[in-house]
């Protein structure tokens, strides 16, 4: 069971990306489960769930990188027992800390868990503006710093020059991460990302 975190700030496209990735993995014959950490309604609609044979678990009522770390581990154990997925895709809240979520995954006991990459989505449209905000910027910087792969999302909606500028900025925060350009909406770059997950 490979566990992959799809993090990123509020509205960066996590849910859209997770659905697109699940679809691609399901088409390759993989069993996929999703864990979301939502405050409100579960954002993955029932139609998508049944179409791709997904299992969805929602951990609400707080942040899975802080007070709900143990719930995350428990949910992974439960999913392994009841569904034995090949992949679990986790959508932490938009202000989560990737390294803490990683710790939560590590708490799951008695499982054959393989830690997949930490993927952090950078909002191609709003990321730079958010990053320059004194308060919001801290969350985004911490997420980028903790990423194995930073994907600049919404590439369909921005110019090449903007994407290049994002890449430069991301590089200064995390010199080691792989940087990809994707559109979770129209699928651009997604297969490249799937290859890095599989």
What is residue 78's three-state secondary structure?
A: helix
Q: Which of 5, 12, 22, 75 binds ligand GTP (CB under 6 A)?
A: 12
6 CB neighbour count, 10 Å cutoff: 26
Which lies closer to Mg ion via its Cβ, residue 15 or residue 24? 15
d(C-alpha 131, C-alpha 146), whole Å: 15
From Mg ion, ligand GTP, none, which one binds at residue 183 (CB under 5 to 8 Å depending on kind)? ligand GTP
Site for ligand GTP in 24-83 (CB under 6 A): none
163-177 exposure pattern, b = at least 16 Cβ within 10 A, e = fewer: beebeeebeebbeeb
Interacting partner of 127 out of Mg ion, ligand GTP, none (Cβ under 5 to 8 A depending on kind) = none
Under the binding rule (CB under 6 A), the answer on residue 157 touching ligand GTP is yes
Does residue 92 interact with ligand GTP by CB under 6 A? Answer: no
End-to-end CA distance of the chain: 11
Least CB distance to Mg ion at residue 64 (A)? 13
Q: Which of 101, 89, 126 is nearest to 10 (CA)?
A: 126
> By the criterion CB under 5 A, which residues form the site for Mg ion?
14-15
> By the criterion CB under 6 A, which residues form the site for ligand GTP?
8, 10-16, 94, 153-154, 156-157, 183-185
């Amino acid at each position: 069971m490979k566990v992959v975190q799809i993090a990123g700030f509020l509205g960066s496209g996590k849910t859209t990306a997770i659905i697109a990735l699940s679809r691609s993995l399901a088409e390759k014959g993989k069993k996929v489960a999703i864990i979301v950490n939502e405050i409100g309604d579960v954002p993955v609609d029932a139609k998508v769930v049944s179409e791709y044979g997904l299992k969805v678990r929602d951990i609400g009522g707080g942040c899975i990188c802080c007070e709900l770390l143990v719930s995350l581990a428990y949910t992974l154990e439960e999913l392994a027992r009841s569904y034995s997925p090949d992949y679990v895709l986790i959508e932490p809240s938009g202000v989560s800390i990737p390294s803490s979520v990683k710790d939560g995954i590590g708490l799951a006991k008695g499982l054959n868990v393989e830690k997949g990459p930490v993927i952090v989505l950078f909002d191609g449209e709003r990321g730079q503006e958010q990053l320059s905000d004194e308060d919001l910027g801290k969350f985004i910087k911490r997420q980028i710093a903790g990423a194995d792969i930073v994907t600049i999302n919404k590439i369909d909606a921005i110019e090449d020059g903007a994407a290049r500028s994002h890449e430069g900025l991301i590089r200064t925060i995390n010199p080691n991460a792989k940087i990809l350009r994707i559109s979770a909406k129209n699928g651009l770059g997604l297969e490249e990302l799937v290859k890095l997950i599989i």
